Amino acid sequence: MKIETHSIDGKWKRYTLINNNNMSIRFLDFGGIITEINVPDRNQQLENVVLGYRNYQHYENNTNFLGTIIGRVAGRIKDASFTLNNKTYMLEANNNTHHLHGGSKGFHQIIWKTKPFQTENTVGVTLTHRSHDGEGGYPGTVDVAVTYTLNNKNELIIDYFATSNKTTAFTLTNHSYFNLTGNLAQNIHNHVVTIDSDTFVELSEELIPTGKKLHVENTPFDFREGRKIADGINSTYSQNIMANNGYDHYFILNQRKQAVICIKDETSGRKLTVKTNQPGVVLYTANSSIDNLELEKGRSKQHLGVCLETQASPASLHHEGFPTIILKADATYKKQTVYTFGIEE
C-alpha cells in the first residue's frame, strides 16, 4: 500500500492511492476530482475505467462534472429556489431556470484541504471544507469531510460527513463516469446494469422531477434482473427519449440486498458492485453534453460513460414522498458508498 503526491502547476495536489494488487486511484484536491481508477480485466491488464481529461487545466471549466464531489446539493433544484421554515432561498440558475449540482461555484470548484493516512490494509485521504452561511444561496455554515479509502479488496470507499449550524438543504455525491471496457475501448451500450429498485422518478422535458414516481415493471427502467444500457438508448419509451436517448433518472433503492447496484462488461470481464446507505441513485448515461472533449484516451462522444450518483432527492424540496435532503441544525450527515471492482467469473 502506498500514497504518491504530485504537484500540478504549483496550484493543485494530485494524490495516487495504490494497493497491493496494483489497483490505483488518482484524484485532485481541486474538486476532489477522481481522474483515474486503474483496475485489471480478466487477463490482469490494468486500465483506467473512468473518464478524465487529457489536459488537467480543462477541469477548471468542468461543466460535465467529470469525477467531482458534488455539493451542496447533487441534482437539479426546480426554479433554483426552495422554501425552508417559511423562508424562500434563491439559488443560482445555472441549468436553464434551474439550479444544478450546487451551482457554478459548488464543491466541484474548490480546493479542498487534504490529510493523507495509511494503515496496514488501507490508504486514503480525507478532504475537508467549510462552506459559509449564504454561500451559493444556501443557509448555514457547513463543515464537510469526504474520505477516499482504498483497500486490498479492490474497494474504493467514499465516506461523507457534515454538520451545519442551521437547518439547510444538503446531499452529496461523486460524479465519476465509469466505462469498464478500459481506456475507453468501447462505449457503454453493452454494459449490463442491475439496480435493486422498483420505482423511478418521472422527469419533465427540462429533466425536472414531476413529483410522480413510476413503477419499473414492463419498462426499460426495470434493472432488477439486469439489462443492457442499450435497451434505454434504443428505446421509444417517452422517458428515455426525454433524456436525449438514455437515462438521467433517480431510482429509489429497495435496500433489500447488500449490493444494490452492479455493472458488468462482458468484453473485459470487469464488474463493479456498489453498496450504499443512500436512499437512491441517479443513473446518467452521458446522453448529450459530453460530446467532443479531449479525454485522456481520445475524444469523447455520447454514451461513453455511466454515472452512479448515489444521493437523496432534491425533488423532496417541492414534492411529498421523496427521500429528504434536509439536514437539520447540529445534526450529522453521514453517508457511505463502496465501489468494489472485480472480475466476472
Maximum alpha-carbon separation in the chain: 59
Q: Which helix (H) or strand (E) holds 198?
A: none
Residues 6+ apart with CB under 8 A from 190: 228, 229, 230, 265, 266, 267
User: Looking at residue 231, what DSSP letter applies?
Assistant: H
Q: What gap in Å lies between CA 13 and CA 64, rounded to an integer?
A: 21
Question: How far apart (Å, rounded) are the C-alpha atoms in residues 39 and 166?
Answer: 41
Direct distance between the N- and C-terminal alpha carbons of the chain, in angstroms, rounded to an integer: 26
The x, y and z cell numbers of residue 99, run together, are 439550479
Residue 172: Cβ within 10 Å count: 28
Q: Which amino acid is at 286?
A: A
**Residues in the chain, how many?**
345
Residue reference for cell 424562500 = 88
Q: Are 15 and 27 in contact (CB under 8 A)?
A: yes
Cα–Cα distance measured from residue 22 to residue 187, given in angstroms and rounded to the nearest whole number: 25
Asked if residues 168 and 140 have their Cβ atoms less than 8 Å apart, the reply is: yes
Strands 24-28 and 12-18: antiparallel
Residues 6+ apart with CB under 8 A from 86: none
What are the catalytic residues?
A: 175, 309
Strand partners, 173: 70
The grid coordinates listed for 124 are 486514503
Which residues in 117-127 are b (16+ Cβ under 10 Å) and which e? eeeeebbbbbb
Q: Are 176 and 55 in contact (CB under 8 A)?
A: no
Range list of H helices, the chain: 230-233, 238-242
